[in-house]
């Protein structure tokens, strides 16, 4: 088979490259369902750190196995959203089977094994962007990956049409406009991840009588990250529980409350520092906006989490390498 259009790559018989970055191919296996070739239109565009690709063809199956992931070049972890313009798709990841109808969309984690089938003629848009710039936890992303959203469900009525229109018009935007639109894509995909994770529909969901309370605490934290006085004592008081009980709730999450707050703040800072724009705020301004009052402490925490200083992170994430 020969399918053109996925990130500008040509799929021919065995392997293809789904590109997660400017120079970082993500190999997948390609398996035709029929003997006839698939005629496709090669379409691939970039808006800031978002790569938009269109795949148009006949029946096909693509898979990204652990064997393909292991030897792949080291790249920034990517999250993807597939928008099904026509035809139907079936995606499998983390033991889930997500059936995507025309007009629907599906979220997947490109850093873990997945497989997607197109049982008939199809046209789909793929959006890929760095996971860290979403500002969501790895836990939430794992719960949300491999989940489909119908055209009338949840974020579907907003996100689906927006991404479909953006894919069709991506070539027409100048650089600064594309950078701003990339930020909007990240915000919407982040909202999608939060919604799907909160549904608790996937493996490893919270479950139990404390699910709603943990969700409320997480939402409370996310809404007040800029408050330097966001302490476990204040969080517990706001929810009318003891500090000890608050810590017990998050023992099952595998993280302390203080560490969760710091992690979410760092994710927000990394996302903001990684966005390009005409006027970029200073590192200290970003740190203060997200609740870090001590610049030296922020720099140490950021380096510990990301391996580079905040000042080095900015050019690394905005030079088009992702």
pLDDT digits (tens, 9 = 90+) for 182-204: 888 988 898 888 888 776 544 33
pLDDT value of position 253: 63
Q: Would residue 278 count as lying in a domain?
A: yes
Q: Would residue 205 count as lying in a domain?
A: no
**CA pair distance 316, 313, nearest whole angstrom:** 5
For residue 232, the enclosing domain spans 211-318
pLDDT, tens digit (0-9, with 9 covering 90-100), for 271-297: 888 776 656 788 999 999 999 999 999
Q: Would residue 155 count as lying in a domain?
A: yes
Residue 92's nearest CA partner among 75, 72, 112, 67 is 112
Residues 6+ apart with CB under 8 A from 72: 25, 26, 27
pLDDT, tens digit (0-9, with 9 covering 90-100), for 206-251: 444 466 788 889 889 999 999 999 999 999 999 888 888 888 888 7
pLDDT, tens digit (0-9, with 9 covering 90-100), for 68-88: 665 555 567 889 999 999 999
Q: What percent of the chain has pLDDT over 90?
A: 27
pLDDT at 179 over 90: no
- What SS3 state is found at 149? strand
Widest Cα–Cα separation across the chain: 65
- 191: tokens are 């909202």
Shared domain check, 52 and 151: yes
Which among 199, 222, 237 is the end of a domain?
A: 199
pLDDT value of position 105: 93
Shared domain check, 236 and 292: yes
- Which has more pLDDT, 134 or 105? 105
Distance of CA 155 to the CA centre of its chain: 15
Q: Would residue 58 count as lying in a domain?
A: yes
Task: Indicate which CATH number applies to the domain containing 279.
Answer: 1.10.10.60
Shared domain check, 244 and 151: no
Q: Would residue 174 count as lying in a domain?
A: yes
Shared domain check, 186 and 216: no
Q: Would residue 29 count as lying in a domain?
A: yes
**CA pair distance 243, 285, nearest whole angstrom:** 31
pLDDT at 298 over 80: yes
Distance of CA 52 to the CA centre of its chain: 13
Which among 199, 228, 248 is the end of a domain?
A: 199
Shared domain check, 92 and 165: yes
Q: Would residue 206 count as lying in a domain?
A: no
Shared domain check, 58 and 25: yes
How far is residue 108 from each of residues 41, 63, 127, 173, 299, measured CA to CA in Å? 23, 12, 10, 26, 32
Shared domain check, 247 and 165: no
- 228: tokens are 């330097």
Mean pLDDT of the chain: 78
Shared domain check, 144 and 8: yes
Q: Would residue 81 count as lying in a domain?
A: yes
Burial 116-146 (b: 16+ CB within 10 A, else e): bbbeeebbbbbbbbbbbbbbbbeebbbbbbb
- Which has more pLDDT, 40 or 315? 315
Tell me the residue ranges of DSSP E strands in the chain.
Answer: 2-6, 9-12, 15-21, 24-32, 43-47, 50-57, 60-64, 78-86, 89-93, 96-100, 105-109, 114-118, 122-130, 147-149
Is residue 22 within 8 A of residue 46, CB to CB? The reply is yes
pLDDT, tens digit (0-9, with 9 covering 90-100), for 160-177: 999 999 999 988 988 888
Q: What is the pTM of this model?
A: 0.58
Shared domain check, 283 and 151: no
Is residue 85 within 8 A of residue 102, CB to CB? The reply is yes
Q: What percent of the chain has pLDDT over 70?
A: 75
Question: Number of structural domains, the chain?
Answer: 2
pLDDT, tens digit (0-9, with 9 covering 90-100), for 114-126: 889 998 899 999 9
Question: Length of the chain in residues, anyone?
Answer: 322
**CA pair distance 223, 138, nearest whole angstrom:** 19
Task: Indicate which CATH number applies to the domain containing 44.
Answer: 2.60.120.10
Shared domain check, 217 and 183: no
Residue 58 pLDDT level (bands cut at 50, 70, 90): confident
Shared domain check, 243 and 178: no
Shared domain check, 94 and 238: no
pLDDT value of position 275: 74
- 304: tokens are 């510990």
pLDDT value of position 45: 86
């Amino acid at each position: 088979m020969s399918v053109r259009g996925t990130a500008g790559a040509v799929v021919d018989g065995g392997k293809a490259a789904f590109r997660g970055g400017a120079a970082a191919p993500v190999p997948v296996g390609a398996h035709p369902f029929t003997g006839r070739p698939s005629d496709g239109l090669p379409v691939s565009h970039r808006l800031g750190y978002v790569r938009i690709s269109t795949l148009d063809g006949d029946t096909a199956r693509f898979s990204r196995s652990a064997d393909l992931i292991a030897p792949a070049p080291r790249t920034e972890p990517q999250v993807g959203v597939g928008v099904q313009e026509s035809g139907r798709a079936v995606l499998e990841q983390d033991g889930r089977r997500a059936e995507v109808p025309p007009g629907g969309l599906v979220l997947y984690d490109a850093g873990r094994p997945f497989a997607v089938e197109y049982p008939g003629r199809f046209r789909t848009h793929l959006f890929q962007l760095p996971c860290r710039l979403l500002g969501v936890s790895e836990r939430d992303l794992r719960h949300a990956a491999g989940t489909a959203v119908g055209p009338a469900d949840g974020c579907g009525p907003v996100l689906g049409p927006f991404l479909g229109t953006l894919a069709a018009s991506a070539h027409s935007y100048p650089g600064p406009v594309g950078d701003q639109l990339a930020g909007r894509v990240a915000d919407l995909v982040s909202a999608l991840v939060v919604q799907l994770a909160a549904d608790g529909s996937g493996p490893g969901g919270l479950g139990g009588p404390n699910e709603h309370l943990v969700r409320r605490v997480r939402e409370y934290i996310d809404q007040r990250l800029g408050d330097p006085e966001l302490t476990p004592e204040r969080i517990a008081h706001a929810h009318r529980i003891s500090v000890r009980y608050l810590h017990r709730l998050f023992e099952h999450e595998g993280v302390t409350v203080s560490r969760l707050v710091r992690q979410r703040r760092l994710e927000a800072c990394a996302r903001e520092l990684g966005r390009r724009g005409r006027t970029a705020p200073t590192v200290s301004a970003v740190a203060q906006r997200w609740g870090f009052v001590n610049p030296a402490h922020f720099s140490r925490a950021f380096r510990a989490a990301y391996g580079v200083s905040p000042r080095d992170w900015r050019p690394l994430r905005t030079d088009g390498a992702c």
